Structure 1
Amino acid sequence: MVAALELYFDHVAERRMRVLWDALETDGVPTMRGLLDGKHRPHLSLVGSTALDPAVVRDALEGFDIAPPLKLSFQFAGVFVGRVLWLGPAPSVSLLGHQAEVWRRLAVAGVAMSPLYAPGAWVPHATVSMRVPRPVLTEALRRCIETLPIEATCTGAAVADHAKGIYTPL
C-alpha cells in the first residue's frame, strides 16, 4: 500500500521501536527508519489504499475520534509474504471495533481501500522492515521477539500518501 491512515504511539513506545530499527540496521536489516529520508514514524495503519485524499478522509471521519488513547500491547512478531517483518499488538475489542468503524465510515464515503484492511481480514501490525534479507530473517525475528512486549498508547493520526509526499495530521 502506498497510502494509509496511520495511528501513532506515545514517545516511549515510539522510542523503543526506533531502537529496534537501529539494532536491526546494525545487523544489516533495512528497516522503516530509512524510508522517506528518515521521516517515517512507527505506526499502525488502520486502512491502506493506492491513494487517499486527506480532505475526503477528514470529512468521512468528522465527529469521530480517530486517535483515541487506545492502549496497545505489542506481544508478538510476524512475517508477511515477501519477508515483511512486523510487530503485532494483542487484538482487543476496542482496537478491532475502532478499526471497523473507520473502515465503515470511509466505505460509506466511497473511499477505495485495500481488502487486506477490511474488518475480519485486517492484521493489526507495525511494520519493522519491508524486505528482510533471507540469510538474516531468523535473527531479525529473534531480535524483534526479544524486544517485546512494548506497551503503547495511540496519540495521533494522519493520512500518509508516500507516493505523493502527503502527510496530513487528523
Structure 2
Amino acid sequence: MFSVELVLDAEAERAVREDWDRLLAADLPSAGRNPAPSNRPHVTLAVRGSLDPAMFADVTELLPVPIELGGVLLLGHRDRFILTRHIVLNRPLLEVHRAVAELAGPPEPRYSNTAPDRWTPHVTLARGLTATRLATALRVISHRHVMGEATGLRVWNAQERVVTTLR
C-alpha cells in the first residue's frame, strides 16, 4: 500500500504534535505513540496498492497551499473511533488533490475514500478510541484553530516502510 501525503509547515505540525502529546500524557491512544522518524502529521491525498513516487514530482510545483485545521472530525468503525482534525477545503488544496488523484488513477474499492468528490481531508490524532476514551480525548486536546501551509509532499510505502520525500 502506498499513500501520497502532504506535510505541514512547522507551526501546524507543532499544533498537531502538541495534541498527540496531550493524548499520550492522558494515557490515551495517540498517533504520536509511533516513534518512527517517518511518523509525522500529514494529510493523505491518495492511497493505492502500488505507485511510483516519481510520478508525483510535478505536483510539488503547486505547493505550498494554505492549510486550516478546523474542528474535530470523527471517523469510525463499529465501536471504535478515529479522532482527527478536519482540514478545511480550499481551491488550492482541491487542485493538489485532483492532480494527485489523476496521476494515481482510479482507487481500488478499499481506498475509494481518497477519490475526487469522496475525499475528506484530515490529520489523525488518535485511532481505536472507545466512546469513553473518546470523551476524555475531546477534553484533553486543544481544539485550537490553526492556519498554516502544506509545504511538502511525500509518498509512504507501507510494505517497505520507506518514505520518498518529493518536497
Q: So what's the TM-score if we normalise by structure 2?
A: 0.85
Structure 1 runs (4+) deviating above 4 angstroms are 110-113
Once residues 62 and 156 of structure 2 are traced to their aligned partners in structure 1, the CA distance between those partners, rounded to angstroms, is 15
1:14 aligned residue? 13
Once residues 45 and 155 of structure 2 are traced to their aligned partners in structure 1, the CA distance between those partners, rounded to angstroms, is 10
1:23 aligned residue? 22
C-alpha change, 1:97 and 1:80, in structure 2 (3 Å) is: same
Q: 1:154 and 2:153 equivalent?
A: no
* Larger strand proportion of the pair: 2
Q: Output aligned runs, 1:18-167, within 5 Å.
A: 18-35=17-34, 37=36, 39-49=38-48, 51-53=49-51, 56-59=52-55, 61-65=56-60, 68-82=63-77, 83-107=81-105, 114-144=111-141, 146-167=142-163
**Post-superposition offset of 1:3:** 2.9
Cα deviation, 1:64-103, whole Å, max 9, x if unaligned, reads 3266011111111111113011001111122112201210
Once residues 35 and 138 of structure 2 are traced to their aligned partners in structure 1, the CA distance between those partners, rounded to angstroms, is 24
C-alpha change, 1:37 and 1:57, in structure 2 (3 Å) is: closer
Using the aligned pairs only, state the percent identity: 22
Once residues 76 and 96 of structure 2 are traced to their aligned partners in structure 1, the CA distance between those partners, rounded to angstroms, is 26
Amino acid of the structure 2 residue aligned with 1:169: T
Report if the CA contact (8 A) 2:5-2:45 is conserved. Answer: yes
User: Which sections of structure 2, spanning at least 5 residues, go unmatched?
Assistant: none
User: Which sections of structure 1, spanning at least 5 residues, go unmatched?
Assistant: none
Amino acid of the structure 1 residue aligned with 2:149: T
**Post-superposition offset of 1:123:** 0.2
Report if the CA contact (8 A) 1:52-1:159 is conserved. Answer: no
C-alpha change, 1:147 and 1:89, in structure 2 (3 Å) is: same
**Post-superposition offset of 1:132:** 1.5
Once residues 116 and 134 of structure 1 are traced to their aligned partners in structure 2, the CA distance between those partners, rounded to angstroms, is 24
